């Protein structure tokens, strides 16, 4: 009989797909993924096609669309709702710039947002005369009530990260989305700290627009990202740029330009062919592991990390309940966090520092030994 237990991946074997882990304890997926071997395969195949077949596949939009479909299958949406962009910043800029905003309108966001989300909002405020309203952080969280209290009849956009990049707080966007829909507010989310770590389909997150760089949980290369847009919203958005892939009009036509009716209206030039080829390989790898298994693995590892840290009287800044976090665990440690990070690196342990706190972030390739080495280094038993 096949049981759920027997279907679980062999995480020790999967760990061998990451050469970085032979030398390093890598607890920094929230910054950048350690490249798996399948990316090397993608690069070699990409170059081989250029050398031997003049790049007929390497530079083919058919190959790009194959990766688009594979990514859509992984994330539980239709391929027509996904556009490839260069990075999270570009995707968020495109999203905000595509929404009609007028002087006196306002956008609601939170104190936990990354510059990638805040700067496009601030630019819109400067150029279009709109107001930015920021919900405060309290006890390591941003509450639904504080966000809803800032909304009024002139609120056009709510921009909230699914998982905060600093302390790792996970927001319940599904609950917020109902309020946004009732008020005709577009909900935008930077989900880079969640995609590839959590198993929730994009359509289940609750956001109308989701943007995510592919170089973290999705294990891809820098310079590759995607923008997801709820299907019924796509044609209401007017991107600020036009190009071969975003427009259906004839190039010599005198009539007004016609945007594509799917998310490709956000793609205005040659994509990152190599990055997308690599993403195709990492998406296949992640599908073979299973997002449900990945989320459970990260859940178990972070549970263990938090419990053992608390047993050593360490201060954990991340909410303790799994429903309020993902793969990030933030620590308030005695001493200078940057000095601690440098000391860890001398022991071949890579964590990060955000807002003056040490941030450890795990993925499915991490082991309990990784966690023990990290805790022994910051709080010897």
| pLDDT single digits (tens) 356-381 | 999 999 999 999 999 999 999 999 87
pLDDT digits (tens, 9 = 90+) for 152-164: 999 999 999 999 9
Give yes or no for residue 3 having a pLDDT over 70: no
Residue with token string 């939009």: 61
Q: Dig out the tokens for 168 from the structure.
A: 């790792």
The predicted structure's pLDDT at residue 247: 86
pTM of the predicted protein model:
0.95
What average pLDDT does this structure show over 236-248?
A: 89
Has residue 5 got a pLDDT over 80? no
Mean pLDDT, the chain, integer: 95
Encode pLDDT of 102-150 as tens digits: 999 999 999 999 999 999 999 999 999 999 999 999 999 999 999 999 9
Angle, alpha carbons 223-229-235 (nearest 5°): 120
Give the separation between CA 121 and CA 129, rounded to whole angstroms. 11
Reduced to 3 states (helix: H, G, I; strand: E, B; else coil), residue 117 is: helix
pLDDT at 1 over 80: no
Determine the Cα–Cα distance for residues 295 and 194; give it in Å rounded to an integer: 10
What are the pLDDT digits (tens) for 192-214? 999 999 999 999 999 999 999 99
Q: Is the pLDDT of residue 4 over 70?
A: no
Contact 11, 365 (CB under 8 A): yes
Residue 313: is its pLDDT beyond 90? Answer: yes
In angstroms, the CA 306 to CA 328 distance is 10
pLDDT (tens digit per residue) in 49-108: 999 999 999 999 999 999 999 999 999 999 999 999 999 999 999 999 999 999 999 999
Crossing angle of the two packed helices 368-378 and 337-346, in degrees rounded to 10: 120
Which residues have C-beta within 8 Å of that of residue 22, sequence separation ≥ 6?
A: none
Confidence of residue 251 (pLDDT cuts 50, 70, 90): confident
Q: Are 193 and 30 in contact (CB under 8 A)?
A: yes
**What is the predicted pLDDT for the residue at 244?**
85
Which pLDDT band, with edges at 50, 70 and 90, does 254 fall under?
low
- Joined together, the tokens standing for residue 225 give 């990202």
Give the CA radius of gyration of the chain: 21
């Amino acid at each position: 009989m096949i049981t759920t237990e027997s279907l679980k991946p062999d995480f020790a074997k999967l760990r061998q797909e990451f050469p970085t882990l032979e030398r390093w304890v890598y607890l920094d997926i929230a910054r950048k993924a350690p490249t798996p071997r399948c990316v090397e395969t993608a690069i070699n195949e990409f170059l081989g096609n250029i050398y031997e077949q003049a790049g007929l596949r390497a530079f083919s939009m058919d190959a790009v669309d194959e990766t688009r479909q594979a990514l859509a299958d992984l994330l539980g949406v239709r391929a027509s709702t996904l556009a490839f962009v260069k990075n999270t910043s570009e995707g968020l800029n495109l999203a905000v710039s595509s929404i009609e905003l007028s002087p006196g309108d306002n956008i609601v966001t939170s104190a936990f947002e990354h510059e990638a989300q805040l700067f496009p909002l601030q630019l819109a405020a400067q150029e279009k005369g709109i107001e930015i309203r920021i919900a405060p952080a309290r006890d390591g969280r941003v509450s639904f009530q504080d966000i809803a209290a800032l909304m009024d009849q002139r609120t056009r956009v709510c921009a909230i990260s699914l998982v905060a990049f600093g302390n790792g707080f996970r927001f319940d966007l599904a609950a917020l989305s109902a309020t946004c829909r009732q008020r005709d507010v577009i909900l935008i989310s930077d989900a880079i700290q969640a995609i590839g770590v959590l198993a929730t389909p994009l359509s289940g997150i609750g956001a109308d627009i989701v943007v995510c760089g592919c170089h973290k949980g999705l294990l891809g290369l820098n310079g590759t990202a995607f923008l997801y847009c709820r299907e019924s919203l796509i044609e209401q958005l007017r991107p600020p740029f036009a190009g071969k892939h975003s427009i259906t009009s004839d190039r010599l036509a005198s009539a007004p330009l016609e945007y594509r009716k799917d998310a490709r209206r956000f793609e205005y030039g040659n994509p990152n062919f190599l990055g997308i080829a690599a993403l195709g390989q990492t998406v296949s790898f992640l599908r073979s592991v299973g997002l449900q298994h990945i989320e459970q693995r990260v859940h178990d590892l972070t549970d263990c990390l938090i419990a053992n840290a608390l047993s050593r009287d360490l201060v954990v800044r991340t909410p303790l309940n799994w429903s309020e976090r993902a793969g990030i665990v933030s620590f308030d440690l005695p001493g200078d966090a940057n000095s601690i990070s440098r000391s860890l690196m001398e022991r071949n342990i890579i964590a990060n520092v955000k807002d003056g706190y040490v941030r450890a972030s795990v993925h499915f390739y991490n082991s309990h030994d990784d966690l023990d080495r990290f805790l022994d280094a910051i709080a010897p038993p």
